[in-house]
Structure 1
Amino acid sequence: MMTTINQVEVSIAPPKTKIHSADPLAVAKFSWDFMLRLEQHGVKNATPKILLCIGTDRSTGDCLGPLIGTKISNTKQNFFTVYGTLDHPVHASNLQEKLKEISHLYHKPFIIAIDACLGELENIGCISLGNGSLQPGAGVNKALPSVGNIHITGTVNVGGFMEYVVLQNTRLNLVMRIANIIAEGLSTAISGYQKQIAQGY
């Protein structure tokens, strides 16, 4: 039996949720939290939903976004419009151009921004979901526009010193594990959310 999201649960959705990728229930926790946030923001089937996966395949630590974008694109879903894949990454050089394109093509799009991040040692491997925008490039001291109605980040390594080198020397295994959880969590959430809308919840 499918559990539905009620208004009490929506009203208490936390501003930010942190889930460790080693948690056996990571996918379930992620999909539930993501569904709560869609409901909280009043996202409907007709709302243009943009999955903006930021990063580049030229850096192991920074390829989280494009990996997720590629995985979701390969599922043949029609819930999200995906920007940012391994074939066509969205990164520092073209982010502003892509944001202009999204603004031109879609009326009041709901943007889910995804990016890798650096953080404290104890947070490596953690996935965070939060309301509002993220600041891409902040971890490597690049000034880029804030983006996203909600955001998803994966902490891939330690920040604070020689960030560019740290990203280049991040373990692909960790990045893949985080990407798999986020992609599976998004796919699970899509299925559940569409069923709820179809049933009139």
Structure 2
Amino acid sequence: MDTAISLPPKSIHVDTPMASHHFQKVLTKYLDEYYTNEYGDLVILCIGTDRSTGDALGPLIGYKLEKHLKNKDNIFVHGTLDNPVHAKNLDTSIQFIYTTYDTPFIIAIDACLGRNESIGKVTIGYGPIKPGAGVNKDLTYIGNIHITGVVNLGGFMEYMVLQNTRLSLVMNMADMISDGILYSLWHQLRKVKKEQSFVTN
């Protein structure tokens, strides 16, 4: 895919009225643009750890999604509260995804730190993210598209900041993102069914 024509990143604040709806519309546009026929399985990779409030955004989203997507064909969730994907097992998880699934299209999700005015913003963008960048960890880039949520202020004592992030904010962001993903996937499944019905008829 030519990155010169890629969709620009789009940010939505968790406190925006109908935030999940706005998020769903943007994600749907991204999936329509990039989740093309060259890909097979859709993998939602939720990165983070349940041992840190701020860094639990990914596992919380994975926990919420897994309940609804567990038996869906060609859609897989990695990174939950019970089985988080974090710095120590990220590379193993990536290797498993690429060796197990059929030409996977990966939505990578992670928490991040940022400016004070950006706290609460969720960004959808084209291309991979670099997990752990906010805490100066050198981890593998991953994702065809990415979703990041700014959970707290960056720039100093990052580990302490993540540990002292408000759970309320993280839960609200997890609700917004997981609801938006479910709506967007429902839209995708409807589109596929319509296309299949058109071909059959």
- How many pairs were matched up? 190
Deviation per residue, 1:130-173 (Å, 9 max, x gap): 00000001001110000000000110000000100000000000
Give TM-score, length-normalised by structure 1. Answer: 0.90
* Distance apart, 1:14 and its partner CA: 3.3
* Distance apart, 1:13 and its partner CA: 7.3
Structure 2 Cα separation of the partners of residues 118 and 45 of structure 1: 34
Aligned residue number for residue 194 of structure 1:
189
Aligned residue number for residue 149 of structure 1:
144
Which runs of 5 or more residues in structure 2 are unaligned? none
Aligned residue number for residue 175 of structure 1:
170
Change (3 A) 1:59 1:42: closer
Structure 2 Cα separation of the partners of residues 28 and 45 of structure 1: 28
Structure 2 Cα separation of the partners of residues 25 and 47 of structure 1: 31
* Distance apart, 1:94 and its partner CA: 0.2
* Distance apart, 1:28 and its partner CA: 1.0
What is the root-mean-square deviation in Å for CA atoms of aligned residues?
A: 1.7
Which runs of 5 or more residues in structure 1 are unaligned? 1-11
Which structure dedicates a bigger proportion of its chain to helix? 2
Aligned residue number for residue 3 of structure 1:
none
Q: Aligned to 1:75, what secondary structure does the other structure show?
A: helix
Q: Aligned to 1:197, what secondary structure does the other structure show?
A: helix
Structure 2 Cα separation of the partners of residues 29 and 43 of structure 1: 22
Matches within 5 A, 1:12-51: 14-43=7-36, 47-51=40-44
Aligned residue number for residue 59 of structure 2:
66
Aligned residue number for residue 132 of structure 2:
137
Give TM-score, length-normalised by structure 2. Answer: 0.90
Structure 2 Cα separation of the partners of residues 68 and 42 of structure 1: 21
Structure 2 Cα separation of the partners of residues 109 and 74 of structure 1: 21
Q: Where in structure 1 do 4 or more consecutive aligned residues deviate above 3 Å?
A: 42-46
